[in-house]
C-alpha cells in the first residue's frame, strides 16, 4: 500500500450515541492532541488506547480528524479499537474513545516528511485541546509529538509545547520535567542553544526552578519532604573554580538560599559521576542545568518508559519522551510504551492533586470548627 502523498478527505461527525454530562468525582477526562499527522503520533495513541484497562481509568478525547485517525488505524491494524465522533467535548461517551473533529479541510498525508500541512493540523489540534482545558471540559492533556520544522512552516510562534502552554495559562514560569517511576529530572534551561546556557543560568532562575520542583514533588507526586540534587554546569562541577566559576558564584548560593527557606536541595554534583555511580537513585528529583545534561542519562536509563511533564502550571500536561520518528512512520513499528506512561502519569497527577486539595479543604474546615468551638466556650 502506498503511504506517501495520501489524499484524505475530511468527514463530518457521524453516529453520535446518547451522550453523558460530566459527573463530579468520575474518572478523569484526558484530552489527547494528534501531533504531527505525518509521524508516529496517531500510531502510538491508538496502540496505547488499545490497552484493555485504559477505558476503566479515564475517558480519552482525541482532538483531530476521524478520517485521518481511521487512516492510521488501518496501518496499525487495530480492528478492536473503536471511537465515537463528536462535534465538541461538551457531552462525551464516558466509556468510549471520543474523537472531536477540529478540522474540515481535505488532508494531504506525507508520511515521514515534515510539511506545513502537518504543522497546521498539529497546531489546530493543540489549540482546540487547550481551549477545552481552559473551559474545564477535560481534566488534563497528553500531547503527541510535533515536529519543530513543520510547526515553523505553519507559522507556529513558539519553540515547543512547553513554551506555548506556559504562555496560554499565564504562568510566570514552568519546569520541563522528565519522569520514569521514581526517577525525575528537571531542567533549568530547556530549548536553549548550548552557547547561551551559562548566561541563562542565574541565581534567581535557579531558585524559581527549585521552588517549582519542590512544590511539584510535594503536590503532584505526593512526596511530603522531597530531596533534590542539583547538578553543576562545568566538568567536575567547576573543580573549585579551575574549570568554571558558575558553581561557586551562582549555583551554590541559590542552593543555600533554598535551604534557608526549608527546601531539601543538595549539590552541586558533578554530572558524570552522579549518574555513573548511581547517586541519582537516592534523590526524589534531579535538577540539570541544560537539555542534554539531563536528557542523555535519563533516556539512556529509561528509554521507552519516560514521560515529559510540564510542571509548575495550574493544569496537567504530559507527553511521551520521544519525537515524531519520521523514519518509523507508517511501518507499524513504533513502541507505544512512553505514550501509555504519559497517560498513566497524567491520571496519577490528577488523582494526587485532587487528594491534596481535598485534604487541604478538610484541614481548613477543621480549623474553622475548632475556632468556632473555642469562641463558644469563651462565652
Q: Domains of the chain, with CATH numbers?
A: 1-171+313-379 (3.40.718.10), 172-309 (3.40.718.10)
Q: What is the pLDDT of residues 97-106, one digit of tens each?
A: 999 999 877 8
Q: Over 60: is that where the pLDDT of 20 sits?
A: no
* Whether the predicted pLDDT of 19 surpasses 70: no
Terminal-residue alpha carbon distance, the chain: 85
Q: Report how far residue 263's alpha carbon sits from residue 7's, in angstroms, rounded to the nearest whole number.
A: 55
Give the tens place of pLDDT for each residue, 59-106: 999 999 999 999 999 999 988 899 999 989 998 999 999 999 998 778
pLDDT digits (tens, 9 = 90+) for 111-158: 999 999 999 999 999 999 999 999 999 999 999 999 999 999 999 988
- Give the Cα separation of 108 and 96 in Å (integer): 28
Residue located via cell numbers 547517586? 279
Judged by DSSP in three states, 60 sits in strand
- Share of residues in the chain with pLDDT > 90 (%): 76
How confident is the model at residue 12, as a pLDDT? 35
Residue 192's Cβ-side half-sphere holds a number of Cα atoms within 13 Å equal to 17
Mean pLDDT confidence for 155-169: 89
Note the pLDDT of residue 303.
81
Helix H or strand E encompassing 350: helix 337-378
Q: Half-sphere exposure of residue 252, counting CA atoms within 13 Å on the CB side?
A: 12
pLDDT tens digit sequence for 364-373 = 665 655 556 6
Residue among 212, 216, 246, 214 at smallest CA distance from 231: 246
Q: At what angle do helices 41-49 and 337-378 cross, to 10 degrees?
A: 60
Q: Is the pLDDT of residue 17 over 80?
A: no
| Of 327, 349, 354, 339, nearest in space to 42 by CA | 339
Query: b/e string for 53-81 if b means 16 or more Cβ within 10 A?
Result: ebeeebbbbbbbbbbbbebbbebbebeee
Query: Contact at 8 Å (CB) between 241 and 248?
Result: yes
Q: Give all strands of the β-sheet with 175-180 in edge-to-edge order.
A: 83-86, 97-101, 59-64, 29-33, 140-143, 317-320, 307-311, 175-180, 183-187, 285-288, 227-231, 264-269
HSE, side-chain direction, 13 A CA sphere, residue 42: 34
Tell me the longest C-alpha to C-alpha distance in the chain: 85
Helix (H) or strand (E) holding 54: helix 54-57
Render pLDDT for 176-228 as a digit per residue (tens, 0 to 9). Answer: 999 999 999 999 999 899 999 999 999 999 999 999 999 999 999 999 999 99
Amino acid at each position: 500500500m502506498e503511504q506517501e502523498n495520501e489524499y484524505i478527505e475530511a468527514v463530518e461527525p457521524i453516529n453520535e450515541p446518547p451522550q453523558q454530562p460530566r459527573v463530579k468525582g468520575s474518572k478523569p477526562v484526558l484530552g489527547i492532541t494528534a501531533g504531527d499527522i505525518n509521524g508516529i503520533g496517531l500510531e502510538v495513541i491508538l496502540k496505547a488506547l488499545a490497552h484493555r484497562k485504559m477505558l476503566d481509568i479515564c475517558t480519552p478525547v482525541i482532538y483531530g480528524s476521524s478520517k485521518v485517525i481511521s487512516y492510521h488505524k488501518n496501518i496499525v491494524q487495530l480492528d478492536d479499537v473503536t471511537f465515537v465522533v463528536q462535534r465538541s467535548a461538551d457531552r462525551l461517551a464516558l466509556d468510549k474513545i471520543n474523537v472531536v473533529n477540529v478540522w474540515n479541510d481535505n488532508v494531504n498525508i506525507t508520511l515521514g516528511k515534515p510539511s506545513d500541512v502537518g504543522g497546521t493540523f498539529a497546531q489546530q489540534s493543540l489549540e482546540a485541546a487547550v481551549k477545552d482545558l481552559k473551559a474545564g471540559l477535560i481534566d488534563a492533556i497528553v500531547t503527541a509529538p510535533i515536529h519543530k520544522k513543520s510547526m515553523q512552516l505553519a507559522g507556529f510562534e513558539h519553540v515547543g509545547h512547553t513554551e506555548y502552554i506556559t504562555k496560554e495559562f499565564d504562568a510566570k514560569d514552568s519546569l520541563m520535567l522528565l519522569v520514569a517511576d521514581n526517577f525525575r529530572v528537571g531542567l533549568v534551561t530547556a530549548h536553549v542553544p548550548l552557547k547561551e546556557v551559562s548566561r541563562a543560568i542565574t541565581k534567581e532562575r535557579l531558585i524559581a526552578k527549585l521552588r517549582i520542583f519542590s512544590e511539584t514533588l510535594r503536590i503532584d507526586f505526593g512526596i511530603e519532604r522531597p530531596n533534590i540534587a542539583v547538578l553543576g554546569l562545568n566538568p567536575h562541577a567547576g573543580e573549585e573554580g579551575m574549570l568554571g566559576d558558575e558553581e561557586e558564584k551562582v549555583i551554590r548560593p541559590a542552593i543555600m538560599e533554598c535551604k534557608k527557606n526549608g527546601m531539601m536541595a543538595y549539590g552541586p554534583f558533578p554530572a558524570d559521576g552522579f549518574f555513573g555511580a548511581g547517586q541519582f537513585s537516592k534523590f526524589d528529583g534531579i535538577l540539570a542545568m541544560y537539555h542534554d545534561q539531563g536528557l542523555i542519562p535519563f533516556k539512556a536509563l529509561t528509554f521507552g518508559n519516560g514521560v515529559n511533564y510540564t510542571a509548575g502550571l495550574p493544569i496537567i500536561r504530559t507527553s511521551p519522551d520521544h519525537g515524531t520518528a519520521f523514519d518509523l512512520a507508517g511501518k507499524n513499528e513504533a513502541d507505544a510504551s512512553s505514550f501509555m506512561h504519559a497517560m498513566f502519569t497524567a491520571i496519577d497527577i490528577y488523582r494526587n492533586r485532587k487528594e491534596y486539595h481535598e485534604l487541604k479543604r478538610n484541614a481548613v474546615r477543621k480549623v474553622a470548627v475548632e475556632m468556632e468551638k473555642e469562641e463558644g466556650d469563651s462565652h
